[in-house]
Structure 1
Amino acid sequence: MVQVERTVRVGVPVERVAEYLADFAHTEEWDPGTVTCTRTDAGPLETGARWHNVSEFRGKRTELDYRLTRFDGGRITFVGRNKTATSTDDFTLARDGDETTVRYLATIEFHGIAKLAGPFLKREFERLGDEVVPELKAALGKLG
C-alpha cells in the first residue's frame, strides 16, 4: 500500500471547495496524471455517484471506476477500482474564515502480484503528490 498526503490552503469558502471537489470529473483540471474522467451516471452529486477515470502513470495508461463513498461537507471520499489496485482519494476540508484548508490523502492498495511493486513506487507517487499541489491550489483558487 502507498499513501501520499498533501495540504493546500485557498482563499475560497469551504462550501464552494466541497461542491467542486465532489465532482470527480474535475480531476482533469488538477491531477497531472488524469487523462480523462467522465461521470458514468446521472443525477445529483451524492454518495454513490460514479466516474470512469483514465490516468497515465510512468508512461502506461490505467483505468479505474470510481465511486463517491462519502460526502458530508467536511469529508469527500472516492474509491476507484480495477483488477490491479484500489485507489482511495480522501479530502478533509476545514473552514478558517473565508479560507479553506484541504487535506488530500491518496491511498493505493495493490492487488495480487502488483502488491510487490508498492514499495518501489512510493517515490513516484510522492512526486505526483508534489505536482498535484500547485495544480489543485490553482484550480480551487479560480473558484473565488
Structure 2
Amino acid sequence: MIDVERVLDLPHPVEEVVAFLADFSHAESWDPGTVTCQQISPGPVAAGTEWHNVSEFRGRRTQLRYRLALMNPDQLTFVGRNETVTSTDDMRFEDCQGGTRLAYHARIQFHGIARLATPLLKREFERLGDEVSERLPRALDRALGSAS
C-alpha cells in the first residue's frame, strides 16, 4: 500500500472548504491525475454519493468509481475502486484562526499482479501529493475568492 500525507493551511473557513471538497467533481480543478469526474448518483452530495472518475497516471488513463464513504463537518472520506486499485482519500479539517487546517491522507492499494509495482510507484505518488498541495489552494481561491 502507498500512503501519501500532506497538511495544508488554507485561508478559507472550514465550512466552505468542506462544502467545496465534498463535491468530488471539483477534483478536476485540484487533483493533477483527474481528467474528468462526474457525479453519477442523483440528488445533492451526501454520504453514499458516487462519481465516475477518469484519471491519468504515467500516460495511461483509468476509470474509477468513487463513493463518498464518510461525510462529517470535520472529515470527508472518498473510496475509489476498479479492478486494479482501491484509492482512499481521507480529509480531516480543523479551524485554524478563521482558516482551515486540512490533513489530507491518500492510500493507494493495488490488487493482483499490479501489487508488484507498489514499491516502484511510491515516489510518483509523493510527487502527485506535492502537486495537490500546490493546486488545491489555488482551486479554492478561484472557487471561493481569494482570502484577504
Question: Which of the five TM-score ranges fits, normalised by the shorter chain?
Answer: over 0.9
Q: Distance in 1 between matches of 2:8 and 2:42?
A: 30
- Correspondence for 2:102: 102
Kindly report the root-mean-square deviation, in angstroms, between the aligned alpha carbons of the 2 structures: 0.8
Aligned residue pairs total 144
Q: Distance in 1 between matches of 2:6 and 2:62?
A: 23
- Correspondence for 1:5: 5
- Correspondence for 1:129: 129
- Correspondence for 1:83: 83
Structure 1 contact 47–68 (Cα < 8 Å) conserved: yes
Q: Distance in 2 between matches of 1:134 and 1:10?
A: 11
Give runs of aligned pairs for residues 49-88 of structure 1, distance below 5 A: 49-88=49-88
- Correspondence for 1:92: 92
Offset at 1:113?
0.7
Deviations, residues 20-69 of structure 1 (Å, cap 9, x unaligned): 00000000001111100000011121110000100100000011000000
In the alignment, residue 108 of structure 1 is paired with which amino acid?
A: I
1:40 aligns with 2:36: no
In the alignment, residue 107 of structure 1 is paired with which amino acid?
A: R
Instruction: Give percent identity, aligned residues only.
Output: 56
- Correspondence for 1:116: 116
Which segments of structure 1 move beyond 2 Å, counting only runs of 4 or more?
none
How high is the TM-score relative to the length of structure 2?
0.95
Q: Distance in 1 between matches of 2:139 and 2:95?
A: 18
Offset at 1:139?
1.3
How high is the TM-score relative to the length of structure 1?
0.97
Deviations, residues 89-139 of structure 1 (Å, cap 9, x unaligned): 110001023110111111001111111111110000001111111100111
Structure 1 contact 10–141 (Cα < 8 Å) conserved: no
Q: Distance in 2 between matches of 1:70 and 1:141?
A: 25
In the alignment, residue 60 of structure 1 is paired with which amino acid?
A: R
Structure 2: give runs of 5+ residues left out of the alignment. Answer: none
Q: 1 or 2 for the larger relative contact order (CA 8 Å, sep ≥6)?
A: 1
Q: Distance in 1 between matches of 2:56 and 2:7?
A: 23
Q: Distance in 2 between matches of 1:121 and 1:97?
A: 37
